[in-house]
Amino acid sequence: MANILKIEHLFKNYGSVEILKDINVEIEQGDFLVLVGPSGCGKSTLLNCIAGLEPITGGSLHIGGQDMTAVSPKDRDIAMVFQSYALYPTMTVAKNITFGMKVRGVDQATQDKKLAHVAQQLQIENLLKRKPGQLSGGQRQRVAMGRALVRDPKLFLFDEPLSNLDAKLRVEMRTEIKQLHQRLGASMVYVTHDQIEAMTLATKIVVMKGGVIQQIGTPAEIYNRPANLFVADFMGSPAMNLIPAKARANGSGTDIQIAQDRGDPIVLTDTKNRDLPEDVILGVRPEDIGDAAMRSGAHMQEAECLIDIVEPAGADTYAVMQLGGKHVTARLHSETNAAPGNAQRLAFDLGKVSYFAPDTGLRLN
Amino acid sequence: MTKWLEENTPKLVLAPSFIAILVFVYGFIAWTAWVSMTRSRLLPKYEIEGFIQYDRLFASPRWDTAFGNLFIFGTLFIVIAMILGLVLAILLDQNIRTEGAIRTIYLYPMALSMIVTGTAWKWILNPGLGLQAMVRGWGFEDFTFDWLVDPDMAIYTIVLAAIWQSSGFVMALFLAGLRSVDEEIIKAAQVDGIPTWRVYTAIIIPSMAPIFLSAFIVLSHLAIKSFDLVIALTGGGPGYATDLPATYMYAMAFSRGDIGQAASSAMIMMLVVFAIVVPYLYSELRSKDG
Amino acid sequence: MADLSVSAASPAGQSQTGKIALRWSLYTLLCLFALFYLLPLFVMITTSLKSLDEIRTGDLISLPREVTFDAWRTAWSGACTGIQCEGVRPYFWNSVLIAIPGVAISTLLGAMNGYVVAQWRFRGANIIFSLMLFGCFIPFQVVLLPMARVLGMMGIAGTIPGLIFVHVIYGLGFTTLFFRNYYVSIPADLTKAAKVDGAGFFRIFWSIFLPLSLPIIVVTVIWQFTQIWNDFLFGVSFSQAGTQPVTVALNNIVNSTTGVKEYNVDMAAAIIAALPTLLVYVVAGKYFVRGLTAGSVKG
């Protein structure tokens, strides 16, 4: 299938400040690309560059196979949903949705037909005569989506569209956007700082930091095999435990030794990964540490750990301990008998861990 | 071509205004500065002769009076208008039921032309039939209030009329400032049992520093440009007693036919404004860009 | 901020009567100040309704014994400004003819400029805006001489179009400032959304920004109208016998040395000259104040 969006060696400077450095991304028809990263990482600037709202300093940008590097936004065949919704305050909902068609000289009958279709799709038929000021946050959000949908563009752009909604509505709209994507089979680029949104919506995630792409991959790849310490720490909640450790080769695999604040260091034997340097940072997700009694598997390794804090969270209970000088969180069963101050026998799933180099932060395995 | 046009429309739209300002403000300032360095009299000459016009200006007793008057007038006008404005604003801030009406009354002079203000006060202050005559008519035969025709006192009539015209505006500025102070801070002070007057002196007024600055800028700007009021109220008289730089400049330019003097006096006015306004504008634009 | 005086009673506790006394003195003070501001207007009106005889014999603040509109009639169509004796009527209309186009053009240009500076930022736009802003603050004396010559070269010296031109040029800084400050608070996303929707520079202005601008248009129009109507310096410098604005005519009537001093006519003429701006103030005071404060405390 053809690339719907292809960005090659894109650079963006404001004066002497480099905002985006050598960005290379491509997506195919029907992809849902999420640009995620902390604020100031350049993700919104990148989206604006794709839209043509910001000129780029270097590189090229193709949409639907055509070179759009220097084309103005109106000719890029895109539609965009903004964080502030950017509804035209003096126009009714209907006029907001049809404004783009009106500007482009689409005849009235087509306008009406498309408006009716989109309104029905988003269930905003009863709002069409209102002005944006009379709408709730969620309704504005729908209208903003309607304005994009009605254009039926090659590429949809979303700039943190859910960040102004309250928590409950945000989850609802997230599901709705996902449904919409699946139903339309449209191609989308979506900016967010919320890694859960990224994980749930994307078919492809780009993690950014400081104007540089850290990793591109499917949600599963990003989650299971983070490319560096930044991605490991940023994606996932609670965050991945990153524990300084010593690796030592032994016959069948590698011994991973982790210091404990009190008591003896624990040693786990990794039979999967070899040839690790001596100093490593072990990355292990909370769900990959569990009660020894309830876990078993090929790469399970057990150790006695001193529990500092126990945090029941309904479905799970989180236990926090000190390993390698760091707070380490384990996700235990809600009926665990772990108690603060006691030692607990925990199982580490070494089949799913990541190793990083302490100096470069890059993935080792 | 269309692409170029599309990209440069904003610049093209701004261009005529920008060019107009460049020519009619900055170009003209340059022209005046140039001419102020020449021997121009009735007609401008363009050979630079140095600072002779400024030497003449500073040697002229009339300019001396005018410049001195600017300081008397400016200082009194600014200080009194600010104090009066602040007092009125604080008085009006005490949950006054008829605040709207009172505010309207205090502020209406600002809508009048200085010429109208001057005309009205000229009539009130004229000794023959105005205030002095009225009080004498009440039986106080010795009452004297003839500042308007007293060369030593006439400048104070201008101060009076200017304050009458502008203090309501200062009040409006301060009132807006008082209302923009964070209410929670005031509530906190009230809970702490701090008396009202201390709330004002210790909390509210210090937090209005930017408004004092704005009021100062606007008033000093008004003072330096004051021209209409003097023309209407005293005509610069008696003699030259109430001349200000603005009237001096006008007299030189349009009745004396001394363009060199007009230009150099205008430049001095310009420099005074510069000294006051430039630091202010600079800091304003700085803080907004940040 | 309300209720400070009431709720912040000192712990020592003022007596109830003390509080009432304080309240009364407060109102008395406010009324005294109101009298100070109203006195000149009151004197103007009463004087304009008196006959000259009554003015000479009566006292400044007494009400007219016999109300007469003769002075108003004379002021409107018979008073002498130097050698001509047509009252302020022709000059009143001159002011109207100067103010209307002057206000309309400077407001329109200010709106476009403000729109560019606030929403279409380009390299150097801020410097251009700063330069325009500074133009608001120059003492106009510094441009009088060259302007007189340039108006002559353009062939509009002493004409009404000449005065309109001058008022537009030197009003631009403020009108641009007003619109810029208003438009800068409108999120940039709106312009971006419209660009993606396919609208261009003028379309966005016309369809999105202009419909939003009513409040700032009112503020700007009132501000510019007051400025132009009340102007004296440009009027006296750049007009000639037939094209003077009403402020200049008023000054000429008041200061004309020929004949008997008719104070009642002076006052009637002054009120006539003040009426349009006073009317605007009474009808739209809120916007008037907003313009004043916007012009000084930049938002």
Contact A72 C195 (CB under 8 A): yes
> For the residues A212-220, what does the mean pLDDT come to?
95
In Å, what is the CA distance from C38 to each residue of A247, B130, B132, C46, C287?
91, 16, 19, 12, 22
To 5 degrees, how large is the angle CA A25–CA A31–CA A35?
50
Categorize the per-residue pLDDT at C171 as very low, low, confident or very high, splitting at 50, 70 and 90: very high
User: How many other CB atoms are there within 10 angstroms of residue A54's CB atom?
Assistant: 19
> For the residues A120-149, what does the mean pLDDT come to?
92
Decide: A162 and A84 in contact? Cβ < 8 Å.
no
Whether C197 contacts chain A with CB within 8 A: yes
C142/chain B closest Cα distance in angstroms: 5
CATH of domain A3-234: 3.40.50.300
Q: Which residue matches tokens 């080769």?
A: A249
In this prediction, residue C9 carries a pLDDT of 43
In this prediction, residue B179 carries a pLDDT of 83
What domains does chain B contain, in order, with CATH numbers? 63-289 (1.10.3720.10)
Whole-angstrom distance, CA of residue A285 vs CA of residue B9:
55
pLDDT over threshold 80, residue C8: no
In this prediction, residue C270 carries a pLDDT of 93
Contact A53 C212 (CB under 8 A): no
Check residue A239 and report its DSSP letter: P
In this prediction, residue A115 carries a pLDDT of 95
User: pLDDT higher for C59 or B65?
Assistant: B65
Categorize the per-residue pLDDT at C127 as very low, low, confident or very high, splitting at 50, 70 and 90: confident
Reading the block at residue B197, the tokens are 């007057």
pLDDT, tens only, A149-175 = 998 899 999 999 998 888 888 999 999
In CATH terms, the superfamily for domain A241-356 is: Nucleic acid-binding proteins (2.40.50.140)
pLDDT over threshold 60, residue C13: no
In this prediction, residue A32 carries a pLDDT of 95
In this prediction, residue C7 carries a pLDDT of 43
Whether C198 contacts chain A with CB within 8 A: yes
Interface size, chain A vs chain C, as Cβ–Cβ contacts under 8 Å: 63
Q: What average pLDDT does chain A have?
A: 90
In this prediction, residue C73 carries a pLDDT of 86
Instruction: Give A185: exposed, middle or buried? Use CB within 10 Å, 0-12, 13-18, 19+.
Output: exposed
Q: Which of A74, A114, A147 to probe the C interface (max C CBs under 10 A)?
A: A74
Kindly identify which residue of chain C lies nearest to residue B223, measuring between CA atoms: C139
Categorize the per-residue pLDDT at C3 as very low, low, confident or very high, splitting at 50, 70 and 90: very low
Whether A74 contacts chain C with CB within 8 A: yes
Would you give the distance in Å from CA C103 to the centre of its chain?
11
Categorize the per-residue pLDDT at A135 as very low, low, confident or very high, splitting at 50, 70 and 90: very high
Decide: C195 and A53 in contact? Cβ < 8 Å.
yes
pLDDT, tens only, C89-115 = 899 999 999 999 999 999 999 999 999
Categorize the per-residue pLDDT at C135 as very low, low, confident or very high, splitting at 50, 70 and 90: confident
Percent of chain A with pLDDT over 70: 99
Instruction: Write out residues in chain B with pLDDT < 50, as ranges.
Output: 290
Enumerate the CATH 3.40.50.300 domain ranges in chain A, comma separated: 3-234
User: pLDDT higher for A299 or A71?
Assistant: A71
> For the residues C110-128, what does the mean pLDDT come to?
90
> For the residues A30-42, what does the mean pLDDT come to?
93
Q: Which residue matches tokens 């002054």?
A: C270
Whether B178 contacts chain C with CB within 8 A: yes
Helices (H) and strands (E) in chain C, counts: 15, 0
Contact C37 B105 (CB under 8 A): yes
- Residues 50 through 69 of chain B touching chain C, CB cutoff 8 Å: none
Enumerate the CATH 2.40.50.140 domain ranges in chain A, comma separated: 241-356
Q: Which of C37, C42, C132 to probe the B interface (max B CBs under 10 A)?
A: C37
Strongest mean pLDDT among A337-341, B246-250, C79-83: B246-250
CATH of domain C89-296: 1.10.3720.10
Spatial neighbors of C292 by CB under 8 A, at least 6 apart, are B110, B169, B172, C223
Sign of CA dihedral C258, C263, C265, C268: positive
Whole-angstrom distance, CA of residue A163 vs CA of residue A215:
23
Spatial neighbors of C133 by CB under 8 A, at least 6 apart, are B281, B285, C173, C176, C177
Strand order in the sheet with A266-270: A266-270, A253-258, A241-250, A279-284, A354-356
Q: What average pLDDT does chain C have?
A: 86
pLDDT over threshold 70, residue C287: yes
In this prediction, residue A5 carries a pLDDT of 93
- Is the complex ipTM higher than 0.85? yes
> For the residues C279-286, what does the mean pLDDT come to?
85
Whole-angstrom distance, CA of residue B270 vs CA of residue B224:
9
Sign of CA dihedral A92, A98, A100, A103: negative
The pTM (predicted TM-score) of the whole model is: 0.86
Percent of chain A with pLDDT over 90: 63
In Å, what is the CA distance from B279 to each residue of B21, B206, B271, B285, C175?
21, 21, 13, 10, 22
